[in-house]
Amino acid sequence: MLTGPLLIGVFVLALAFLFLLIMRWKVEPFLALICTAFVTAIAIGMPIAEVPGIVTAGFGNTLAGVGILIGLGVIFGQFLGASGAIERIADVLLKLFGIRRSPAGLSIAGTIVSIPVFFDAAFVILSGLLKSLATRTGISVMTFVTALGIGLITSHNMIAPTPGPMIVAENTGSDLGLFIIYGIICALPAALVGGYLYGMYIGKRVQSDVSLEDEAVEPDDDRKQISTGLSFGILSLPIVLILANTVSKMLIPDTGVATVLGFIGDKNIALLISVIAAILLLRPYIRESHTKLYNEAIASAGMIVLITGAGGAFGAVINKSGIGDYLISTMQSWSIPVLLLAFIFSQILRASLGSSTVALVTTSSIMGPLILELGVSPILLGLAICAGGIGLSLPNDSGFWVVNRFGKLTVAQTLRIWTIGGFIAGLTALAAVYALSLFSGILPGL
């Protein structure tokens, strides 16, 4: 197999080939991703006999994590939309934050929700708000996609107890409570700058291909109006179940209650319970037949599942190539400031491997044991690593395709909104880490 700089070259060429297929030659993303995965594996020099297994394993492993979630999430969103719950929630957000600041409200909401809930689950659950808020405010739907996506991914990478930050805190020997507090301090400005401010900027420059008039739910005077409490209750149900699982593991581990909450708080089970609750409780507020809603949801979910799995297949090929090990050995010799090195290390691994969690775990595993030699605060080093995992999500990341499909974006739009927005948020988080470093010796733990 190829090694060294040639491996990096193949990775860059593979991305260029993928972009050409999708953006220039208009090949369906699922086909483009699968073709690129196979071509890349062969170009790297993987044994021909092993290539099909690597690609299919990457496809299957990705769908093992998000396949059921996507299907249930689309059905859940379909029922919330048909019942008028999404519009009711949008009304409340607009009253709380006002029209001009509604994207900031959505970004903050996303930041909070993604603390206990995985990014992909949270984006699927909350994506129904995007078009409703855009229709009611006149603000570009692209702004709301940016605000939600960046808010979610920022806290997913910066704030424990999500797995990445938890492992970083452990590997760096940081006090978990302080790590969470300082993570929140760094995450909020990052979400607002990358999600809200950049979202307002890019929303004026990227045109949506979605007709808001077609997507919006028309008011129906004959339909029974859903209450605000029920609307928030149904939307919050999967979030509450997942959060209960997280809290029980921390407070009452290895108990019967924790076991039960661990089962119903699994993201797939939590969403299944929520779908069943939506079907039963929202029935009086829905005029369309359930068969029609199911059919529309399944039609939407099918292509999303295929594309997300194909993105995972491409990512698996890149991971198997050994590019991560090569980057680690290369960057260890760079003579740059420690916090910046940690950020760059994590950022490059994030882009090349397609997984923020893998990037955080790998970087903290390498740099964590060197903290005494580096002479830096464990918390600051850990937060710099976490900041590096936020941005530069590329098509080898399954999350790229979740945002692309649920946000109804083209690949070019996803790159401008999601990839660049995340990069800006990551830089902002790093700036916040450096700001905290000015108070070393004054603030506890720094």
Q: CB neighbours (10 Å) of residue 335? A: 5
Task: Please state whether the peptide bond connecting residue 161 to the residue before it is cis, i.e. omega within 30 degrees of 0.
Answer: yes
DSSP 250-318: HHSTTSHHHHHHHHHTSHHHHHHHHHHHHHHHSGGG--S-HHHHHHHHHHHHHHHHHHHHHHHHHHHHH
Q: CB neighbours (10 Å) of residue 49? A: 7
Alpha carbon distance 223, 84 (integer Å): 9
Q: What per-residue confidence (pLDDT) applies to 154?
A: 95
Per-residue pLDDT of the chain (446 residues; tens, 9 = 90+): 788 889 889 988 988 898 898 878 988 888 988 999 999 999 999 999 999 999 999 899 888 877 888 888 888 888 988 888 888 888 888 888 888 899 999 999 888 877 766 787 788 888 888 888 998 889 999 999 999 999 999 998 998 767 788 888 888 888 888 888 899 999 999 999 999 999 999 999 888 766 555 444 444 545 678 999 999 999 889 888 887 887 888 789 889 999 999 999 888 899 899 999 999 999 999 988 888 888 888 887 888 888 888 888 888 888 888 887 787 677 667 778 889 989 998 898 888 878 788 788 878 877 887 787 778 899 999 999 999 999 889 988 888 999 998 998 999 999 999 999 999 999 999 999 999 999 988 888 88
Alpha carbon distance 300, 310 (integer Å): 16
DSSP E strand boundaries for 362-424: none
Query: Pick from 217, 259, 200, 2: which is nearest to 90 by CA?
Result: 217
Task: Write phi, then psi, for 84 (nearest 5 degrees).
Answer: 90, 5
DSSP E strand boundaries for 306-366: none
Query: Pick from 244, 212, 254, 190: which is nearest to 388 by CA?
Result: 190
Alpha carbon distance 338, 342 (integer Å): 6
Query: Pick from 147, 168, 148, 146: which is nearest to 158 by CA?
Result: 168
Residue 3, Ramachandran bin (φ over 0: left; ψ between -120 and 50: alpha; else beta): beta
Q: Which residues contact 298 (CB under 8 A, 6 or more apart)?
A: 71, 74, 75
Q: Which residues contact 295 (CB under 8 A, 6 or more apart)?
A: none
Q: Write out the two tokens for 199.
A: 């979202």
Alpha carbon distance 306, 401 (integer Å): 10
Q: What per-residue confidence (pLDDT) applies to 215?
A: 47
The dihedral sign for the CA sequence 192, 145, 62, 28: negative
Task: Kindly report whether the global pTM for this prediction surpasses the value 0.95.
Answer: no
